[in-house]
Amino acid sequence: MASKSKNKKNDSPSSQSKNNEVSHQSIKSNPDYKQMYLELKDKFDDISKQLEEKNSKIQDLEQKNSKLHYALEAATDVRLLDDDENHSTILKKDIYDLQYSLENYTKCKGNVKFNMPAVQKLLAGYGSKTVIAEQNKPLIQAVLQRYVIEQISSYADYYFKDPDKYDKNIDGTETHVYKTARELTDLTQNLAKHRIGDDDDSVKVLPIILRQKICAALGNRGFNNMVDPKNKIFPHKFIFKFHGILNNEISKYRKIVDPEKSKGVEGMAGDIIKKFITLFYFRFKVQEPIADYIWFNHNREIDPSYMEGNWDDEEIDNNNVDFCYFPLIAQEFKNESKRHIYTLAKIVQKSINSTENNSH
């Protein structure tokens, strides 16, 4: 019995712990076991270090993957940031600024002489049968605004139609870049449509992004003052040329008698040409989808949701469009569910039962 009790006592936890401690000490004191222990410890430390390095590499790869993911999202995102100068809010403000400049350039207040037969012919060209009286200056101003826009459009079309007429490194940079942008857009669209690949998102948006980036650059720098190799600054040749031509054209319909006032008004021409072209030819194309402009024809029904004029609500049903003197600016105007309007069209209205307008 005593022997059994002694054995039980030796098997107690404290006894086992002491035995393990002795055994461990024995191993550490044994040269062979000590060497084995040190080797195993070195291997364990080495494996732990390798695991740490691999974990660090995995974290680096995850961070790079995350950055690439965000970069891909940014590269395929065609939306404009709120502070982008081509964001719809800022673009709308600049359209209003152009309208204000046109009003100042064509204003008919003060001592002004009109070529009424020529003005009447202009108005008739827009489909209107209204007879203009010389005292109806707001109507004359509206006619002249439409004419100025059409003239500037014709200058721009002439410039962009044949880039080879201009030196690409001097006054033709804008038209050559504009042409190249259209070519790149068409080619990258063909690449997306007619070549197989696993990069659908980036390739499909490439034509859009190219158009946006190039047109944004043109909208920012296009037709700005030029700098020669000696750092001499001078007006862009296109602006300088058509500045004078536009003033000559408008003088066929209206002449400001006061020379100082006339000089001030004529000085606006170049800035208006630049504002119009950079908006209508460049910055509208930065939008996705592209913003377009729409003229409303004579006798079109009035719709206040995309037209503005000088009428009372109760008059709308009895009036139609006489002529439009600033176009509607909108995206996807024909698609009502996707339509986005930047600025309303400016129109002069007329009574349905009369050939004379009731706007001014």
The confidence band for 296, taking pLDDT boundaries of 50, 70 and 90, is very high
- Percent of the chain whose pLDDT exceeds 90: 62
For residue 8, pLDDT beyond 50: no
Strand partners, 292: 330
The confidence band for 139, taking pLDDT boundaries of 50, 70 and 90, is very high
Task: Report the pLDDT averaged over residues 183-208.
Answer: 86
For residue 97, pLDDT beyond 70: yes
Task: Report the pLDDT averaged over residues 138-144.
Answer: 96
Give residue 275's pLDDT: 97
Q: What is the pLDDT of residues 238-290, one digit of tens each?
A: 999 999 999 999 999 999 999 999 999 999 999 999 999 999 999 999 999 99
Q: What is the pLDDT of residues 37-75, one digit of tens each?
A: 777 877 888 888 888 888 888 888 777 766 655 555 555
Sign of the torsion formed by the C-alpha atoms of 353, 356, 357 and 360: negative
Task: Report the pLDDT averaged over residues 171-186.
Answer: 94
Q: Which residues of 157-191 are buried (b: 16+ CB within 10 A; e: fewer)?
A: eebbeebeebeeeebbbbbbbbbebeeebeebbee
For residue 193, pLDDT beyond 60: yes
Task: Report the pLDDT averaged over residues 155-166.
Answer: 94
Give residue 241's pLDDT: 96
| 8 Å CB contact between 73 and 67 | no
Kindly report the pTM of this predicted structure: 0.77
Task: Report the pLDDT averaged over residues 85-103.
Answer: 94
Q: List, edge to edge, every strand of the sheet that includes 292-294.
A: 292-294, 328-331, 340-343
Give residue 168's pLDDT: 92
Q: How many CB atoms lie within 10 A of CB 230?
A: 5
Give residue 27's pLDDT: 55
For residue 153, pLDDT beyond 80: yes
For residue 178, pLDDT beyond 50: yes
The confidence band for 1, taking pLDDT boundaries of 50, 70 and 90, is very low
Task: Report the pLDDT averaged over residues 104-123.
Answer: 94
Q: At how many degrees (to 10) do helices 173-194 and 200-221 cross?
A: 170
Q: Which two tokens stand for residue 202?
A: 């980036």
Tokens 């207040």: give the residue.
109
For residue 133, pLDDT beyond 80: yes
Task: Provide φ and ψ at 114, rounded to 5°.
Answer: -115, 145
For residue 122, pLDDT beyond 70: yes
For residue 31, pLDDT beyond 90: no
**22 vs 86: which has the higher pLDDT:** 86
Lowest mean pLDDT among 67-76, 171-180, 321-330: 67-76
Give residue 22's pLDDT: 52
CA dist 60 and 154 (Å) reads 57
